[in-house]
Structures are given as structure tokens and as C-alpha cells.
Amino acid sequence: RSLLKLTVQTAVCAPSVLRIPNVHGAELVLKYANNFPATHPLSIRASEAAERVHLETSGKVEIRVFPSSQLGGDMDMLSQLRSGALEFLSFSPLVLSTLVPEAAISGIGFAWSGYDQLWSALDGRLGEHVRGQIEKTGLVVFEKAWDNGFRHMTSNIAPIVTPNDLRGLKIRVPPSPLWTSIFRAFGASPTSISFAELYTALQTRIVDAEENPFAIIKAAKLYEVQRYLSKTNHMWDGYWLLANRRRWNALPVDVQEVIRRNFNQSALDQRKDIAGQNASLEAELTADGLKISDVEAMTFRNVLQKTGFYKEWRQKFGEEAWQILENYTGPIS
């Protein structure tokens, strides 16, 4: 079945058939969602991909974009995706680990020397391995991961400069065991809160601290409710673009190709956006009122080593995945 060819033939043979009942004129209306602000490059580039799909299919395929947790918190969106109520979802590999434990491996603390190493791993064997695990759960995952970024810690209380500054700190983490585990290892008091509730949780002081990449801190205006930022780069997080398999398999193969190609392309565009923003955001966030400090990353990593954090996660991820990771990063534990 080919929707595109079918449309062309229909157009040639019987133009009147082109009056399609849908108000937008699309034959296929699909939904895409994420938890990012609409102004973040992830949402902007996803909308661009949807527009290109619309154009390339001559208006027959419309992908409606729902940014900013409009369809619910992380776990709600994941269940909508699994049930088929939602066709596409950009999802953090760390949060996905509640379903696919090995997906979180790219987020292990203080593992990466930088983006070159990270993208070669995710575009290479590590990404392939993780996508294989994701597909086993019945989801479809596109090849190119999107960037969220290297994460930094922010707080309302005091600058976080040494690992000791984390002791007893009420810090929000996204819902994922790896996140809770890393902040417990530092003696902090982590609480899992969906991104949709983060701003309010900080504003009402349910928590005093959080951690996110520059681009999110900017786009979600977290500087309005936080005073200090420490450039910890403690872990990387990104997004896989997931699809519901049943809904995906129901699409004509040529439509699948157009969607996959355009979203993979937008992922690469979005990586460049984040790289560009990273260069200027530190100055912007300072102007927004955040007091920014540097940290000695090694002192944090040493704590993780001493508390057995790496040992524990190596066991959880399994030797195969860990070896693939270390082939890119060099020995971590």
C-alpha cells in the first residue's frame, strides 16, 4: 500500500476524489509529543520535520506537534505511546529506562569527554545496542538521537562547588532510578518530579535544587526560580524519537520513509542548534541573574567511585553493554 502513489493516481484519474473529509485536508493525521518548551530547539526542529513531511506528501500526512507536556507528564505520554493513542514521542533514554533498563547507559555520571565521543557512540555501536533493546519492547525508534545536553546543577541555597555541598540537598530529579541513585551517592535527598511540574516545585520550595542543561534552564526560565548554577557536566541526556509499532506498521512504506528521513535530519540540525547555543548561553544566564561557578569534576567522580556507584550500575547494565560503552569512553570504573 502506498499512500503517496495512490494519491498521485487518484489525482490523475479522478480529481473530484481529492475532496477529503478532514478539515485540514490531510488523509493521515498523526500526533507527536514531547515535554520540552515550544521555544526549545527540540520542539522547533520537530515542527520543521512535521512541516517537511506535510510538504513532501503534498499535504496528505499531517503530524500535529504537542510540545511542553501538553498531553501529560512523562509517564502519561509513555503510556499513550504504548497504547497507540499517541504515534510519536521524543523521550529521554534515562526516563525510558523504567521500561528499557539499558537505555539509561548513555547517562552514566561523568563518563564522556565531550560531544565527539558521545555522538560517535550513539551513532555507532552503543546507540545500535540500545535501540535493539528498545525495539524488543515493541516500540519503534529512529536512528538519530537528539540532544538535551550535558547537565549542570542549580540551587537556591548556595553554590554547589564540592560534592559535600550536595549533602542533604533537596534536589529534583526526573523519574528514573539512575538519577535517584547518583544523587543518593552524593548524600543528597533526590525527589522524582516530572518536568511538567518542575518550575512550580522550585517556586513553592518543594525542592531547592535541580539539574538540567543550559538550553533547558534558559527555555523553561528556571533562572527565575534558582540563584546558583554549577557547571558540573555531571551527566549527558538526550532524546530518542519513539513510535508506536502498530500505528507505524499501519503506515504505507513510502510515508514511513519520508517521516524517518525528515526526523533523523531534524535531529542532526537540532544537535547543531544546541552546540551553537552552548557557546552563548552561559553569558545569557548570567545576565538573567544566575551566579555561575566552576567545579572540579574529578572530585565528584571520585565520590561515585568510592561509594560503589559505578560497580552497581555496571552490574545492572551488564558486561556486554558496559564493554561497548567503555570502548568509546575508556575505563570508567
Which residues make up the interface to ligand X2X (CB under 6 A)?
Answer: 35, 92, 95, 148, 174, 195, 212, 216, 237
- As a whole number of Å, the CA-based R_g of the chain is 21
The Cα–Cα gap between 146 and 130 comes to 14
Helix (H) or strand (E) run with residue 127 in it? helix 125-136
Residue 88 grid cell: 510519536
How far apart are CB 205 and ligand X2X at their closest, in Å?
Answer: 18
Q: Which amino acid is at 242?
A: L
- Distances 160 to 53, 248, 299 between C-alpha atoms, Å: 45, 45, 12
Residue identified by cell 554549577 is 230
Comparing CB distances to ligand X2X, the nearer of 216 and 267 is: 216
Comparing CB distances to ligand X2X, the nearer of 61 and 202 is: 202
Helix, strand, coil content of the chain in percent (nearest 5):
50, 15, 30
Residue 143 grid cell: 536512528
Comparing CB distances to ligand X2X, the nearer of 3 and 193 is: 193
Comparing CB distances to ligand X2X, the nearer of 73 and 159 is: 73
How far apart are CB 213 and ligand X2X at their closest, in Å?
Answer: 7
How far apart are CB 39 and ligand X2X at their closest, in Å?
Answer: 13
- Distances 115 to 40, 93, 106, 159, 240 between C-alpha atoms, Å: 19, 17, 12, 26, 16
How far apart are CB 210 and ligand X2X at their closest, in Å?
Answer: 7
With vertex at residue 166, the alpha carbon angle to CA 322 and CA 213, rounded to the nearest 5 degrees, is: 60
Comparing CB distances to ligand X2X, the nearer of 56 and 210 is: 210
Comparing CB distances to ligand X2X, the nearer of 165 and 237 is: 237
How far apart are CB 32 and ligand X2X at their closest, in Å?
Answer: 15
How far apart are CB 212 and ligand X2X at their closest, in Å?
Answer: 5
Comparing CB distances to ligand X2X, the nearer of 27 and 237 is: 237
> DSSP 3-state assignment of 140?
strand
Comparing CB distances to ligand X2X, the nearer of 108 and 251 is: 108
- Residues 6+ away with beta carbon under 8 Å from 282: 214, 231, 292
Point out the residue whose Cβ comes nearest to ligand X2X. Answer: 195
The answer to whether residues 128 and 250 touch, using CB atoms and an 8 Å cutoff, is no
How far apart are CB 235 and ligand X2X at their closest, in Å?
Answer: 10
Q: Which residues pair with 172 in a beta bridge?
A: 191
Q: Is the dihedral of CA 185, 292, 110, 128 positive or negative?
A: positive
How far apart are CB 215 and ligand X2X at their closest, in Å?
Answer: 10
The Cα–Cα gap between 64 and 23 comes to 14
Q: Which amino acid is at 317?
A: F
How far apart are CB 23 and ligand X2X at their closest, in Å?
Answer: 33
Comparing CB distances to ligand X2X, the nearer of 7 and 97 is: 97
